[in-house]
Structure 1
Amino acid sequence: MMKTYQGSCHCGAVKFEADIDLAAGTGKCNCSICTKRRNWGALLKPDQFRLLSGEEVLREYRFGTMQGSHRFCGNCGCAPFSEGNVPEIGGAFVSVQVMSLDDASHEELAAAPVNYGDGRNNSWWTEPKEKAIL
């Protein structure tokens, strides 16, 4: 069921709302940055995401194929969302880190299905062989 969630970074400077159906699935990726950050995201179309505050403190990091804009708060360092455009997974997207959702219940998060992507090999639509540590 689609629900509007409120989210933020650790210090609260970056705030957003996002329309997410957690029951439709979340994702974990084995690319180098997702592995190091232990990212757990919900992939959204850009119109399902609204930045409410903090644009001025957001910083950006890009690497590799440059298809993703890894955004993070310049104050606290938390990365509550990223943006990008990968045609193979549907084009433009926002990936919201589900643990940055301030009003998602533990029950909702525990029940959310997790899909795995092989970002390490730029094959996000393929499940990696090793996923236990993701």
Structure 2
Amino acid sequence: MAVQHYSGSCQCGAIAFEAELDLSEVNACNCSRCRRLGSVWSFVPAEAVKVVEDGATTEFLFNKNAISHLFCPVCGIEAYAKGKRGEQEVYGINVNCLDGVDARSLSVTMIDGASF
């Protein structure tokens, strides 16, 4: 799979985005948050993401406070998270929020976030 253009949103549409993603490189994490939510992630540089509906978000930080988990206060969905990889800003796109994509059909790499 190569990099392709995707659009996605939270459930109510208050938060919507477009992103250039390679869905052959997605992961799931066993940290306390991702395990409970069932999120599947694709991490990309911030330049690969365009937020088109910038609705209000609620932020949740935990553990090392390195990832800003942003979720819609209306529908509760975390469409993306923000963080840094070194000095580079990155987005974690929740693949479950992409239009026309079945995240369960993808090859997912498991990440041991519970040990971080």
TM-score when normalising by structure 2: 0.89
Matching of residues 78-97 of structure 1 within 5 Å: 78-87=77-86, 91-97=88-94
Gaps of 5+ in 2: none
State which structure, 1 or 2, has the greater radius of gyration over its C-alpha atoms: 1
Structure 1 Cα separation of the partners of residues 49 and 8 of structure 2? 10
Q: How far is the alpha carbon of 1:44 from its aligned partner?
A: 1.0
More strand by share: 2
Count of matched residue positions in the alignment of Structure 1 and Structure 2: 115
Larger deviation, residues 42-51 vs 65-74: 42-51
The reply on whether 1:115 has 2:112 as its aligned counterpart is no
Residue 129 of structure 1 corresponds to none
Specify every segment of 5 or more residues in structure 1 that has no aligned partner in the other structure, as ranges: 123-134
Following superposition, the deviation at residue 64 of structure 1 comes to: 1.1
Equivalent residue number for residue 30 of structure 1? 30
Q: Which amino acid aligns with 2:68?
A: S
Structure 1 residues 60-107: Cα deviation after superposition (integer angstroms, max 9, x where no partner): 1111100000000011111111111244xx853211111100133x4x
Match of 1:103 among 97, 100, 104: 100
1:1-134 equivalence runs, <5 A: 1-23=2-24, 25-55=25-55, 57-87=56-86, 91-104=88-101, 106=102, 110=105, 112-122=106-116
Q: Structure 2 counterpart of 1:11, which letter?
A: C
* Larger helix share, 1 or 2: 1
